[in-house]
Amino acid sequence: MGDISLEDVKNENVDLERIPVEEVFEKLKCTKEGLSTAEGEKRLQIFGPNKLEEKKESKVLKFLGFMWNPLSWVMESAAIMAIALANGGGKPPDWQDFVGIIVLLIINSTISFIEENNAGNAAAALMAGLAPKTKVLRDGKWKEEEAAILVPGDVISVKLGDIIPADARLLEGDPLKIDQSALTGESLPVTKNPGDEVFSGSTCKQGEIEAVVIATGVHTFFGKAAHLVDSTNQVGHFQKVLTAIGNFCICSIAVGMVIEILVMFAIQHRAYREGIDNLLVLLIGGIPIAMPTVLSVTMAIGSHRLSQQGAITKRMTAIEEMAGMDVLCSDKTGTLTLNKLTVDKSLIEVFVPNMDKDAVMLFAARASRVKNQDAIDACIVEMLDDPKEARAGITEVHFLPFNPVDKRTAITYIDTDGNWHRSSKGAPEQIIDLCDLKGEVRQKAHTIIDNYANRGLRSLAVGRQTVKDKDKESAGEPWEFVGLLPLFDPPRHDSAETIRRALELGVNVKMITGDQLAIGKETGRRLGMGTNMYPSLSLLGQSMDESIASIPVDELIEKADGFAGVFPEHKYEIVKRLQERNHICGMTGDGVNDAPALKRADIGIAVADATDAARSASDIVLTEPGLSVIVSAVLTSRAIFQRMKNYTIYAVSITIRIVLGFMLVALIWKFDFSPFMVLIIAILNDGTIMTISKDRVKPSPVPDSWRLKEIFATGVVLGTYMAFATVFFFWLANETVFFPKTFGVKPLKDLAEMNSALYLQVSIISQGLIFVTRSRSWSFVECPGFLLVIAFIAAQLVATLIAVYSEWDFARIKGIGWGWAGAIWLFSIVTYFPLDVLKFAIRYGLSGKAWDNMLENKTAFTTKKDYGKGEREAQWAIAQRTRHGLQPPETIFHEKSSYEELSAIAEQAKKRAEIARLRELHTLKGHVESVVKLKGLDIDTIQQHYTL
């Protein structure tokens, strides 16, 4: 065979996994002394850094991207119109509007770019702090370096607790215990002997050894899983909604412009330049050019807040999706659990009279190593109040380590009285045979072991012996069976509370694990998340279990509490099917086996200490252990989402009010409003609206989503009302003497003065609308954020000063004085109040709730917050009683007369109906029984292997 080049190694033309280790050094052209720094740098150029590839985006293209969207195109078209078309009638091009539009575009793009860039840099800095380190032999010396510099041929040190930084072959030394759960999802470590291959992303649980690196980065076993990740690109809900709202606004403007063109030019025969100016008013004022910026800033600030809570947001639109998340698929090992064995002391079984459970633990701890421990030794010793108790008061004579033949460990020791004893722990059958259990005692032990197994618990037996000969080679006295210990991977201390809070927030949590079904059920029981779990093969495999064959797979997945024996492709499929059922699906995970599903999910969440593959595939990376930060992130995301939804309703309303209001004024009175003043309104509005990103809002108690029907309906109704308010104001000011008579001001005879008055009225009511759209109740009851109030006051002060004092011939405005300004403010305040009433009417109209409900409960006029909740619950309880075959309430009501008795009965009925509903909704057994009954089958003839 000819010489092997490093390029051949890079292209994986050399089998470095199976050849003898000596040949590995030969193929990689290195020695056990490691590489030199110069050689390492040379190979780094060939193989690349030891990390997953990251896609980088040009900052210039990113900045220009904020000007490349449909909303910006409309504004850019308006800028072109201002200089290319608005030069008729002997007038020069409209350079003021052109410059103003370009400035507005640049301001919005710059703010968006800066905020997103800052958020991205903050996330990158936090991610960089999570970069793994490793010990590598360079220039004949051991150095701690970032794992990213490793190349094939490097010699690394692996010891207890280390994460393997690259694929490597083990050199001489004792066997290692390696935890490959990040790759396979299995909890128990595997043994790796010298010469074996260890994989990047796995963890050393016992031993210490040196290894030679054979593959790095995307060429590792770890990195090759990334092809599944790269093949799943999703279009975010946010982008779809942004496009829908933008298209609605553009279509509204287009309709208004078409009507204006037809009426002004075909019917009224208006001058060309006047018509172009009116079209510019609709284009500039109607398009919500600040929408991408406001939403980007809101999400960027929200992303920063999430990072402070321990959740790094890699994709900011994931915030919006997390707000709507209603299903969370959680990996068990290392996510819901500690990925660390422990003993459930409450279930320890003692077989020696007058011995307590602590004594059983002590005998087990004595039969455990106190140094260089395996996973079982560590969990036993850590259960003691003080780990030193394992050797306290005794002298170790001999220790028998675990081996595959004996399947137990044992210690021979001397106590303080000089007596010799032995203690042993290990596989139950080995200890049972060692102690020669017989009859009922042996049967009792097997029964307990079976009960442990049924609950997903591993059994560990403990025995003891007296050695009267005081010789470590002595057979000793007969062994005594001390007890049985249940081992399990315990839930994190905060997992149960996190799941409970998630359920309260309307997020259904499903466990997805590679472990056995019994283990998954036991974990689910301890966490209070339910035990209706299925082996994934029974749902997604070739053959389906007969007991569930009659129910569609999608329904089973939707109703189940979790799935066991899951492979990576199953996780991906489960998430996909949930999404097809219109669920916003989140997925948590920490290993490379979770990466494809993390990428497929609407919100991929990599937990603390997750592998690079999981972080790369995820949208959110947690920096704090456990899942509790997810609840905080959900609440924060819903608050952020609420701000964004408030703004979108506002944006749609403003589009309708500008287009309809100015179109009617232009067509009815042939009044030409100044495009430049609309630009001023837009700029002042943008400045105020930017502060909505820090507004004070209440997060929704249930998953929130873009209800476009509500957004468009509210926007159209509120916008139409404000447009007619503007038309009404124009009529009063232009056609009547209402204002001079009522407020003692001089009539507006001058076109420039009318422009100023109309500008101020539009500015006030437009900005005031944000207080209506941001609130669920009366706008003056829910306190807005301090910045929003200050920005509104500042903007309207500027607007008022412009209307009062400005003499801008190019904008066709003239000062109207403080008298008119005061009158316009009073008119705006009066016309503001019906906006809240309209908001309530739209909400109740869309929800189907009757107006009399609100009026009867006086919800809007009191501090009562139930919005007719009591009556609706009672009505719902009656319907549920009938549905579930309970006694009709009318029969009972005729037998009772007192109000208190009726209330008590109604409450009890409601509780029973709620239990019945939740049982069917949240337990698979209830759902199965319901479906079976509907199909007319006999429930007793159906096997229910997997339901509890």
Token pair in block for residue 34: 């490691």
CA count, 13 A, side-chain hemisphere, 444: 11
pLDDT attached to residue 867: 38
Q: Alpha-carbon distance 940 to 570, whole Å?
A: 31
- The residues near 348 (Cβ < 8 Å, ≥ 6 apart) are 357, 360, 361, 483, 484, 485, 486
Q: Which CATH number is 324-339+493-634's, of 3.40.630.30, 2.30.42.10, 3.30.420.40, 3.40.50.1000? A: 3.40.50.1000
Q: List all residues 6 or more positions away from 270 whose beta carbon is below 8 Å from its beta carbon.
A: 264, 670
- Host H or E run for residue 444: helix 439-454
Tell me the HSE value of 522 on the side-chain side, using a 13 A CA sphere: 21
What pLDDT was estimated at residue 622? Answer: 87
- Dig out the tokens for 859 from the structure: 């919800």
pLDDT at position 712, please?
A: 92
pLDDT at position 542 is 53
Residue of higher predicted confidence among 895 and 58: 58
Mean pLDDT of 823-842: 94
Enter the CATH code of domain 6-54+132-226: 2.70.150.10
pLDDT number for residue 906: 47
Task: Return the pLDDT at 156.
Answer: 93
What is the distance between the alpha carbons of residues 303 and 633, in angstroms, rounded to a whole number?
A: 10
Q: Of residues 31 and 180, which shows the higher confidence score?
A: 31
Query: What pLDDT, on a 0 to 100 scale, did the predictor assign at position 946?
Result: 28
Q: Report helix, strand or coil for 535.
A: strand
Say what the pLDDT of residue 933 is: 42
Position 99 pLDDT exceeds 60? yes
3-state secondary structure of 209: strand
pLDDT of residue 896: 38
What pLDDT band is residue 886 in, cutting at 50, 70 and 90? very low
Residue 47 corresponds to which tokens in the numbers above? 């193989």
In the chain, CATH 2.70.150.10 covers 6-54+132-226
The model's pLDDT over 323-345, given as tens digits with 9 standing for 90+, comes to 889 999 988 877 788 878 889 88
pLDDT at residue 931, rounded to an integer: 44
| Residue of higher predicted confidence among 595 and 528 | 528
Give the pairing of strands 508-512 and 562-564. Answer: parallel
What's the Cα-to-Cα distance from 688 to each of 290, 493, 539, 756, 787, rounded to whole Å? 11, 44, 53, 21, 9
Q: What is the mean pLDDT of residues 478-482?
A: 94
Please report the beta strands in 160-243, taking only residues with DSSP state E, as ranges in sequence order.
167-170, 176-179, 190-192, 197-198, 203-206, 208-215
The pLDDT tens digits of the residues spanning 379-391 come to 899 889 888 889 9
pLDDT at site 144 = 85
Cβ pair 652, 772 in contact under 8 A: no
Min mean pLDDT across 263-277, 844-858, 898-912 is at 898-912
* 70-83 average pLDDT score: 79
d(CA 211, CA 631): 41
Select from 265, 284, 287, 289 the least CA-distant residue to 666: 265
Cross-strand partners of 399: 411
Which position has the token pair 């077989």? 351
Q: pLDDT tens for residues 360-371?
A: 999 999 999 887
Confidence of residue 173 (pLDDT cuts 50, 70, 90): confident
How many CB atoms within 10 Å of residue 473?
A: 9
Structure tokens at 591: 């290993």
The Cα 734–Cα 689 span in angstroms is: 31
pLDDT at 889: 41
271 contacts 90 by C-beta, under 8 angstroms = no
Q: Among positive and negative, which fits the CA dihedral 268, 272, 274, 277?
A: positive
Go through the chain and tell me how many residues it has: 948
User: Measured between alpha carbons, how far is 597 from 606 in angstroms, rounded to an integer?
Assistant: 11
Higher-confidence residue of 6 and 889: namely: 6
Let me know the angle formed at the C-alpha of 426 by 422 and 432, rounded to the nearest 5 degrees.
Answer: 80
Average pLDDT over residues 462-467: 94
Task: Name the most confidently modeled range: 12-16, 614-618, 684-688, 736-740.
Answer: 736-740
Q: How confident is the model at residue 90 (pLDDT cuts 50, 70, 90)?
A: low
Q: Quote the tokens at residue 57.
A: 């985006």
- First-to-final CA distance of the chain: 63
| CA pair distance 368, 355, nearest whole angstrom | 20
Token code pair at residue 852: 């009399």
Q: How many Cα atoms within 13 Å fall on the side-chain side of residue 12?
A: 9
Task: Assign 905 a pLDDT band (cuts: 50, 70, 90).
Answer: very low
pLDDT at 868: 41
| pLDDT mean over 170-194 | 79
pLDDT > 70 in the chain, percent: 81
* pLDDT for residue 553: 82
Range 190-199 average pLDDT: 89
Give the Cα separation of 553 and 542 in Å (integer). Answer: 13
Residue 127 confidence (pLDDT):
52
**% of the chain with per-residue pLDDT over 90:** 27
Q: 327-331 and 458-466 as β-strands: parallel, antiparallel, unpaired?
A: unpaired
What long-range pairs does 53-62 form, CB within 8 A, spacing at least 24? 53/217, 53/218, 54/616, 59/113, 59/117, 62/113, 62/116, 62/117
DSSP 581: T
Q: What is the C-alpha separation between 357 and 817, in angstroms, rounded?
A: 89
- At residue 260, what are phi and psi to the nearest 5 degrees? -60, -45
The DSSP string of 907-927 is: HHHHHHHHHHHHHHHH-HHHH
Q: In the predicted model, is pLDDT for residue 824 greater than 90? A: yes
Residues 6+ apart with CB under 8 A from 819: 743, 744, 745, 746
Catalytic residues, by residue number, are 331
- Distance of CA 205 to CAs 164, 177, 180, 196, Å? 11, 5, 10, 16
Q: How many contiguous H segments (helices) and E segments (strands) does the chain have?
A: 37, 26
| Cα–Cα dist 580/558, whole Å | 10
pLDDT, mean of residues 285-307 = 81
- pLDDT score recorded for residue 407: 85
Kindly report, residue by residue over 719-771, the tens digit of the pLDDT. 999 999 999 999 999 999 999 999 999 988 788 999 999 999 999 999 999 99
User: What is the structure's pLDDT at 862?
Assistant: 33
CATH dotted code for 342-488: 3.40.1110.10
Question: How far apart (Å, rounded) are the C-alpha atoms in residues 9 and 11?
Answer: 5
Distance CA 795, CA 764 (A): 9
In this prediction, residues 198-202 reach a mean pLDDT of 84
In the chain, CATH 3.40.1110.10 covers 342-488
H or E element that contains 381: helix 375-382
As annotated, the residues of the chain forming the CATH 3.40.50.1000 domain(s) are: 324-339+493-634
H/E segment holding residue 117? helix 95-128
Q: What is the mean pLDDT of residues 475-483?
A: 92
Dist CA 737 CA 747 (whole Å): 7
* Higher local confidence (pLDDT), 829 or 222: 829
Token pair for 8: 């051949």
Return mean pLDDT, the chain.
80
